[in-house]
Structure 1
Amino acid sequence: MIARILYRENVHGVLNYVLGKTKSTVLGFQNTYSDMDTDKEFFGSVLYHLGNRHGSEKRYVHTTINLPRGERLGNGDFFELSKEYMEHMGYGEQPFMVVRHHDTKHEHVHIVSTTIREDGSMIDLSNDFRRNVATQKHLEKRYGLSPSPEAKQQNELPIYRNPQFKNKDVNGVRFYMQDILNNTLQKYKVRSFRELTELVRPHHIQVKTVKNNKDRVGVTYGIAINDGYRSRFIDGHTVHPKLSGPKLQKVFERNQSSKLLPMVKKRLEKQLRTTYKLFRTIEPEHLPDILKSHQKMDCKVDYDKEGTAIGFRIYDKSGYTFKGEEISRSLGIRRNTELFGSGYTQMYMESGQLTLELRKAITEGFRISYNNSGRKNLFSEHINGSSVRKIAQAMAKSERFVFLKKYLHTDNRSLGGLIQAEFPKVKDNLHIKESVREENELEKKAALVRGLIDKHVFDAPKSKGILFELLRSLGAKYDNSTLTYANSYRHRAELNLGNVPWPKQIDFHVSPGFVRENEKVLAGLLQKKTEKEIGPSPTAIFLPLMFPNVYQAMAEEYRIRFETLGLKAYMKNTEHLHRRFEKSPEDYIRFFNAKGFYFKKVEGKMCICSIYSKYPVSVALAPKLQAYLFSSNDLYNVLENQPNVLQSIKNKGQD
């Protein structure tokens, strides 16, 4: 099930479209004088008068609810589903009409309503996307429908669609064009009508431009499908006001003048030249796979009518698309006949670039091997004790090595010889590099400990007693005025702490991730860095659970700042996780309550707090989020019930 929301400034055009289909059924009305027999003209007048009580451009809402192809609901069930949807979206008390259309292969309804209430106020539209997704998930389960696609999808090249239209289906053509053109302009930073034409051609859309006497550019769109169907060309403004010639010209000029454009071109040129150096010959058909594997670049090869490769287009992650010659004239397929004209693909065995790629693959092999070893010692020690056989086995899991092996076209013996030749150099260089890094990191840990003590980050009476746990929370240990890593004595840093009391029983193990997070947070607090500079992760809020004595002894000033930073980071991440399940402002609050977080008003602003905080810390919500919560009619009761939920958590010992 997929629900799509469109906001409109005028309602008559929407009603004419929804009610103008010959194959349509009015399923019912809501909040009018009759659920089934309301006069359509009267309903339109009601919406018109309500909408004109407010000046917003989003006075009216047009929602379509689409079922998965092949799945059906009866008229009664579809009407009930629509009513539940509107209730969850905040339109439960608004007049609305539900109309079912039968002109496509998938079942769908159109719902028309207004965002303006009887008192002239406007329904809060903040977080409507969040509500929409969560409501979809809820209704899919309730009515046994197939789940809609997840929001996260890989960035793929356009899918060639083959739309089906019936004669004179002007509205169907227009909405298809609108959908494809809008998606294309959102996905790509288009810079010209020519580029737009090429991007939408696979979707069977044609683009024509014309200039008038005042040099203004006009644009029309048409459909041409292989089965012979051709639509008449429709003016861009008719398809959608934002798809008119002048409006698109402004978009193109903005994208063309972006300061990002020359930097993207320069980066792509460097990446392409690096790949070219690696190959003696390239079969054009293999170029998309080569660039995807080697540079993570999306590419499409262009062919002439005879099937000969004439060029390629790069679809960059920035949203820009370029032809090869546009990045640099010397990079095109026609300019590189020796590279692209042989008819097969072969890496250049003697190239310096292949040597660099092999060294990178061996380095990746060391890191993969170290991660699989459980990190019982330092990386430099692991490097020193690793054999070429051990690293070669780990390299087999590296994407880079798989890519090299695929296009080298050589036997394992020869490939092993190449690895054997480069292994000693890579091992020595990596060992030296990691040793220096580890020494510097240990010195930083020592300086951090000195700073924490000198600036009284921890209360003086308790600072001595927590030194052991503090050092271990930084992945270090102390002995005879010397600081070392917790899992190695290879490196040493001077640190005079006097006599550090050791616990009677040493049972201290924590993941490297928490150690890194703890060091980052403590260093940020000490240096008074901003939240952006520290960049705490969502797990930062749990550091007091991992290192209780350390954070219990932290001075009030630093503890309050830490709890504020941790609460912000946790809230930002958690509300993203809740999004797919949240159907209302009440859900937003209840989901956080269930985890031990609550909301309260502080000086008129809604703030989030935590039962896990040592001090009364609160974080103000963003203005749009506050408006979203205040839009709830049941906000007072939800806030009043918070203590009961929180007490239940405490009674279970989960605080």
Structure 2
Amino acid sequence: MIAKLIYGDTCQGTLKYVLGKEGMRIMGYGNTFSQSISPKFFGSVLHFQGQRNATKNRYAHISLNLPHGEHLDDNTFLKISMEYMENMGYGEQPYVVVRHTDTEHEHVHIVTTNVKENGQVLGIFNSHRRSMATRQHLEKKYGLYEAPTTKRKEQLPIHRLPELQFGMDAEKGTRYYLQDVLNSINQKHKMRSFDELARLVKPYHIEVKTTKNETGRIGVKYGLDNQKGYRTNFINGSEVHHNLSGPKLQKVFDVHSKSKLLPMHRKRLLKQIETTYDLFRTIHPQELGEVLKEYQDIDIKLDKKEETTEGFTIYDKSMYVFRARELSRNIRMQNRLDIFGNDNAPTQIDTESKQFKLEMQKLIKEALTTSYLQSSKQQGLLSEHIMTKNFGDILPSLMASKKHNFLERYLQRNQRTELRKALGNTFPMVRQRLYELETKKEQETLESKFKLIGKVLKNKIFNVGTEQGSVRLLFQALGVKYHDNQLSFTNSDRHTIPVKLGKLSFPKEMENYVSTGFVRQNHLMFQMLTEQSSDNSPKLTATAMFLPMIFPKLYKRMNPEFKTQYESLALSAYIKDAERRHSPFEKSAKDYIALFNAKGFYFTIGEEGFKIKSIYTRNESAHTLPRRTSLYLSSIPNLTETLKEQRPVINNLVEDGRNRLENLWSGHLMERGVYSKVAFMLTAEKVYPNLHREMVQHHMDNGLRESIIVASERQSSIQQNYVLRKGAYAISSILGGSSTKTEDMYNGFKDEFTDFTKNKRKSRGMGLPC
């Protein structure tokens, strides 16, 4: 089911269309004193209630659309419509639900007002996100086909074209079709002129006419003409929708045309297209779109007049639309007959070109890096890995590369063997260059870590020192180690920096394995705490919230003033990620609060607006929500009661002992789809996720249930073997056998990111009890 929402400041035209359609059926009214009122009376009620506030978005026009082939009876469709309106916050507003039969797919229209009886306006913040969550909820509840949740790049369907009849009244179908297409085109592209608009809507049988009066005011009219006996009168843009009038669109066009980013997009595209031309000897015109899409991820459409290809139009990821001649005359097909001159010539790469040689070098670099990242142990640094590899070692990674497949596809058969030889000959030179480049990067990285350690110690962010060797906790958290007055990377001694700290009393078995991902986050966090980060620095991710769990001994020594600063930064990063993950389940502002409550976060309100706190941080640590989010939450009816309802949820988590970061981490892994790790934490470690029931159910249905079954069977087998080994050990003790060390249970959580016992377990396989 697809839901569409359109807001406006009038309702008369919408009601005329919705209630005037031939074959329409009024299925029911919402929040009216009777179901037997006349459409005219309902229109008056809706109009007068909407006029009680001067907001531009007084009225809402919603359509619920089923996919082709899906059928619902009137009673069920009405029930779904009323549940949709309740979840979207229109439960107490007057509305009408009308079924239309003018298209190939079943759909209903709902017209209502955003103005309440007391003249206040409903909070329609995040309405499209809430609509998506509500729609998904109803699809599951009523067994409907699930609509896609990601953006689709294909063109709009044209089946919504009104019935074919000449001279059709604009108010009986055309207007809604024009709204549907024009609004979608406006959202999809950053248009800069009426000519561009006319080209983009032409495939939908829409014609655009512009006028200019004596004062220079531009007007626009829209009409339909499918050139098959169906044509409508032209309609003024303001009658279609107030945002589709000439002056309104001209303002939008001016903003897009004056954007400072526009020249940058042009320059980038020109470079990408010229690079493509440099790689090929010939390109068949019909294959240019496929070549640009695969090689540069550029979407184009050939401009044809009858059977002649006149050029191409670029639909850029920036949402701008460019014609080839707008970027440069040199990339037009007519001006590059050396590449496009022979329509019969197949598309072929120029193996003698400079660009081809560059592509081979890129392939080898990518294969060397990929083979390192995909290696199971990842021992040593990338520079060390590079010099241990020969050409045969990287062949599997190279052959699996999309770039390699792309190059091979556009080579002649007899050239494919030559490609392998050319890559082999190029390999030594590329390997040496990459080795030198990575060596320089690694040295600079180690030096930056050394400087950062100095900053952290100077600012006294942590209470660590050299007397008891606690400074090694700081070294470990940044992925470095100290030995014999030298600082080096934890997993390599290749690069060193002299650091005269003397002999430190480190433990015999240092916790020396830490995930590189968490080391990077920790490094960034320290930079932010010491004010070394910049706008161009990488951003914190949700994993910053879990740093105290990964480095518990270090963060226990964090000084209070920095603890508050860290927790605020970590909360901010986690909340941004959580909001994105909540969107498929967030049907209302109350859901926003409930989803966070289930994770152990709660909201307070004060003079600065809403703040969010957590059971994992100290009470004074908080993150202030943006103004728009605060307004969104303020729209909740009985807000005070809703905030009070947080207490039992939060108290239950604390009383159950689920105020540990491990419980939040289990839920975070579940949201990321790492079900095998979650299943192990549930079955072996008894760590239960802090996550809303609806989200848990979604993941159970999505594969978590099967993972839990596998983990349970594995755990049962482990326990049986454990008992047998215990029995064998008892017999061995009675007979005077040597003792063994206490077994360490395999820890799925540690193994995920920070298994400090990896070095000790090398002889134990997976680290299971032995």
Tell me which interval the TM-score lies in, with the shorter structure as reference length.
Answer: over 0.9
Residues 211 and 217, structure 1, Cα contact 8 Å, conserved in 2: yes
Residues 560 and 615, structure 1, Cα contact 8 Å, conserved in 2: no
Report the alpha carbon displacement of residue 634 of structure 1 after superposing the two structures with TM.
4.1
In structure 1, the partner of 2:351 is 349
Residues 162 and 225, structure 1, Cα contact 8 Å, conserved in 2: no
Residue 368 of structure 2 aligns with an amino acid whose one-letter code is F
Residue 349 of structure 1 aligns with an amino acid whose one-letter code is T
Report the alpha carbon displacement of residue 181 of structure 1 after superposing the two structures with TM.
1.9
Report the alpha carbon displacement of residue 460 of structure 1 after superposing the two structures with TM.
5.2
Residues 521 and 534, structure 1, Cα contact 8 Å, conserved in 2: no
The answer to whether the aligner puts 1:624 opposite 2:628 as a matched pair is yes
Q: Which stretch has the larger CA shift, 509-518 or 66-75?
A: 66-75
Once residues 162 and 94 of structure 1 are traced to their aligned partners in structure 2, the CA distance between those partners, rounded to angstroms, is 32
Residues 464 and 500, structure 1, Cα contact 8 Å, conserved in 2: yes
Once residues 267 and 181 of structure 1 are traced to their aligned partners in structure 2, the CA distance between those partners, rounded to angstroms, is 28
In structure 2, the partner of 1:443 is 447
Report the alpha carbon displacement of residue 290 of structure 1 after superposing the two structures with TM.
1.4
Residue 352 of structure 1 aligns with an amino acid whose one-letter code is K
Once residues 121 and 249 of structure 1 are traced to their aligned partners in structure 2, the CA distance between those partners, rounded to angstroms, is 32
After TM superposition, where is structure 1 displaced by more than 6 Å over at least 4 residues in a row? none
In structure 2, the partner of 1:600 is 604
Report the alpha carbon displacement of residue 461 of structure 1 after superposing the two structures with TM.
7.1
Which of 399, 402, 406 lines up with 1:403 in the alignment? 406
Higher relative contact order (Cα pairs below 8 Å, separated by 6+ residues): 1
Report the alpha carbon displacement of residue 607 of structure 1 after superposing the two structures with TM.
1.1
Residues 9 and 58, structure 2, Cα contact 8 Å, conserved in 1: yes
What secondary structure, in the 3-state scheme, does the structure 2 residue paired with 1:182 have? helix
Once residues 536 and 282 of structure 2 are traced to their aligned partners in structure 1, the CA distance between those partners, rounded to angstroms, is 47
Once residues 20 and 489 of structure 1 are traced to their aligned partners in structure 2, the CA distance between those partners, rounded to angstroms, is 80
Once residues 390 and 548 of structure 1 are traced to their aligned partners in structure 2, the CA distance between those partners, rounded to angstroms, is 40
Once residues 638 and 237 of structure 1 are traced to their aligned partners in structure 2, the CA distance between those partners, rounded to angstroms, is 42
Q: String of CA shifts for 1:538-579, please: whole Å, max 9, x gaps.
A: 110111111011111111121111100010111111012111
Once residues 417 and 522 of structure 1 are traced to their aligned partners in structure 2, the CA distance between those partners, rounded to angstroms, is 48
Residues 17 and 173, structure 2, Cα contact 8 Å, conserved in 1: no
Which of 492, 499, 505 lines up with 1:501 in the alignment? 505
Residues 116 and 123, structure 1, Cα contact 8 Å, conserved in 2: yes
Q: Which stretch has the larger CA shift, 484-493 or 249-258?
A: 249-258
In the TM superposition, 1:144-183 aligns within 5 A as 144-150=143-149, 152-153=150-151, 156=153, 158=155, 161=158, 163-166=160-163, 167=165, 168=168, 170=170, 171-183=172-184
Q: Mark the CA change 1:283 to 1:604 in structure 2 (over 3 Å): closer, same or farther.
A: closer
Structure 1 unaligned residues grouped into runs of 5+: none
Residues 100 and 109, structure 1, Cα contact 8 Å, conserved in 2: yes
Report the alpha carbon displacement of residue 513 of structure 1 after superposing the two structures with TM.
0.7
Which of 508, 520, 525 lines up with 1:521 in the alignment? 525
In the TM superposition, 1:59-70 aligns within 5 A as 59-70=58-69
Residues 586 and 634, structure 1, Cα contact 8 Å, conserved in 2: no
In structure 1, the partner of 2:677 is none
Report the alpha carbon displacement of residue 247 of structure 1 after superposing the two structures with TM.
3.2
What secondary structure, in the 3-state scheme, does the structure 1 residue paired with 2:28 have? strand
Q: Mark the CA change 1:235 to 1:46 in structure 2 (over 3 Å): closer, same or farther.
A: closer
Structure 2 unaligned residues grouped into runs of 5+: 661-770
Once residues 315 and 467 of structure 2 are traced to their aligned partners in structure 1, the CA distance between those partners, rounded to angstroms, is 56
In structure 1, the partner of 2:491 is 487
Q: Mark the CA change 1:220 to 1:356 in structure 2 (over 3 Å): closer, same or farther.
A: same
Once residues 219 and 9 of structure 1 are traced to their aligned partners in structure 2, the CA distance between those partners, rounded to angstroms, is 20
What secondary structure, in the 3-state scheme, does the structure 1 residue paired with 2:335 have? coil
In structure 2, the partner of 1:130 is 129
Report the alpha carbon displacement of residue 227 of structure 1 after superposing the two structures with TM.
4.6
Report the alpha carbon displacement of residue 421 of structure 1 after superposing the two structures with TM.
2.0
In structure 2, the partner of 1:102 is 101
Q: Mark the CA change 1:215 to 1:644 in structure 2 (over 3 Å): closer, same or farther.
A: closer
Residues 468 and 506, structure 2, Cα contact 8 Å, conserved in 1: no
In structure 2, the partner of 1:237 is 238
What secondary structure, in the 3-state scheme, does the structure 2 residue paired with 1:191 have? coil
The answer to whether the aligner puts 1:2 opposite 2:2 as a matched pair is yes
Residues 462 and 553, structure 1, Cα contact 8 Å, conserved in 2: no
What secondary structure, in the 3-state scheme, does the structure 2 residue paired with 1:408 have? coil
In the TM superposition, 1:12-51 aligns within 5 A as 12-34=12-34, 36-51=35-50
Once residues 199 and 304 of structure 2 are traced to their aligned partners in structure 1, the CA distance between those partners, rounded to angstroms, is 13
In structure 2, the partner of 1:249 is 250
Once residues 159 and 47 of structure 2 are traced to their aligned partners in structure 1, the CA distance between those partners, rounded to angstroms, is 38
Residues 54 and 121, structure 1, Cα contact 8 Å, conserved in 2: yes
Report the alpha carbon displacement of residue 257 of structure 1 after superposing the two structures with TM.
2.8
Report the alpha carbon displacement of residue 293 of structure 1 after superposing the two structures with TM.
1.9
Q: String of CA shifts for 1:259-284, please: whole Å, max 9, x gaps.
A: 32222222222222211111111111
In structure 1, the partner of 2:396 is 393
Once residues 261 and 349 of structure 1 are traced to their aligned partners in structure 2, the CA distance between those partners, rounded to angstroms, is 34
Residues 88 and 127, structure 2, Cα contact 8 Å, conserved in 1: yes
In structure 1, the partner of 2:423 is 419
In structure 2, the partner of 1:368 is 370
The answer to whether the aligner puts 1:473 opposite 2:477 as a matched pair is yes
What secondary structure, in the 3-state scheme, does the structure 2 residue paired with 1:401 have? helix
What secondary structure, in the 3-state scheme, does the structure 2 residue paired with 1:301 have? strand
Once residues 158 and 102 of structure 2 are traced to their aligned partners in structure 1, the CA distance between those partners, rounded to angstroms, is 18
Q: Mark the CA change 1:52 to 1:308 in structure 2 (over 3 Å): closer, same or farther.
A: closer
Report the alpha carbon displacement of residue 645 of structure 1 after superposing the two structures with TM.
1.9
Once residues 460 and 646 of structure 1 are traced to their aligned partners in structure 2, the CA distance between those partners, rounded to angstroms, is 34
What secondary structure, in the 3-state scheme, does the structure 2 residue paired with 1:314 have? strand
Report the alpha carbon displacement of residue 116 of structure 1 after superposing the two structures with TM.
1.9
In the TM superposition, 1:459-470 aligns within 5 A as 459=463, 464-470=468-474
Q: Mark the CA change 1:38 to 1:227 in structure 2 (over 3 Å): closer, same or farther.
A: same
In structure 2, the partner of 1:291 is 292
Q: Mark the CA change 1:520 to 1:283 in structure 2 (over 3 Å): closer, same or farther.
A: same
Once residues 99 and 56 of structure 1 are traced to their aligned partners in structure 2, the CA distance between those partners, rounded to angstroms, is 26
Residues 162 and 204, structure 1, Cα contact 8 Å, conserved in 2: no
Query: Structure 1 length normalisation: TM-score?
Result: 0.94
Report the alpha carbon displacement of residue 24 of structure 1 after superposing the two structures with TM.
1.6
In structure 1, the partner of 2:360 is 358
In structure 1, the partner of 2:381 is 378
Report the alpha carbon displacement of residue 467 of structure 1 after superposing the two structures with TM.
2.1
Residue 340 of structure 1 aligns with an amino acid whose one-letter code is F
In structure 1, the partner of 2:327 is 327
The answer to whether the aligner puts 1:266 opposite 2:270 as a matched pair is no
In structure 2, the partner of 1:338 is 338
RMSD, matched Cα: 2.3
In structure 1, the partner of 2:303 is 302
Residues 62 and 112, structure 1, Cα contact 8 Å, conserved in 2: yes
What secondary structure, in the 3-state scheme, does the structure 2 residue paired with 1:513 have? helix
Q: Which stretch has the larger CA shift, 210-219 or 373-382?
A: 210-219
In structure 1, the partner of 2:754 is none
Q: String of CA shifts for 1:92-146, please: whole Å, max 9, x gaps.
A: 2222222222222222222222222222222112222222122111111222211
Q: Mark the CA change 1:299 to 1:45 in structure 2 (over 3 Å): closer, same or farther.
A: closer
Report the alpha carbon displacement of residue 157 of structure 1 after superposing the two structures with TM.
5.7
Report the alpha carbon displacement of residue 623 of structure 1 after superposing the two structures with TM.
2.1
Once residues 461 and 276 of structure 1 are traced to their aligned partners in structure 2, the CA distance between those partners, rounded to angstroms, is 60
Residue 155 of structure 2 aligns with an amino acid whose one-letter code is P
Residues 104 and 159, structure 2, Cα contact 8 Å, conserved in 1: no
In structure 1, the partner of 2:566 is 562
In structure 2, the partner of 1:141 is 140
Residues 15 and 43, structure 2, Cα contact 8 Å, conserved in 1: yes
Once residues 429 and 505 of structure 2 are traced to their aligned partners in structure 1, the CA distance between those partners, rounded to angstroms, is 45
The answer to whether the aligner puts 1:587 opposite 2:584 as a matched pair is no
Query: Structure 2 length normalisation: TM-score?
Result: 0.80
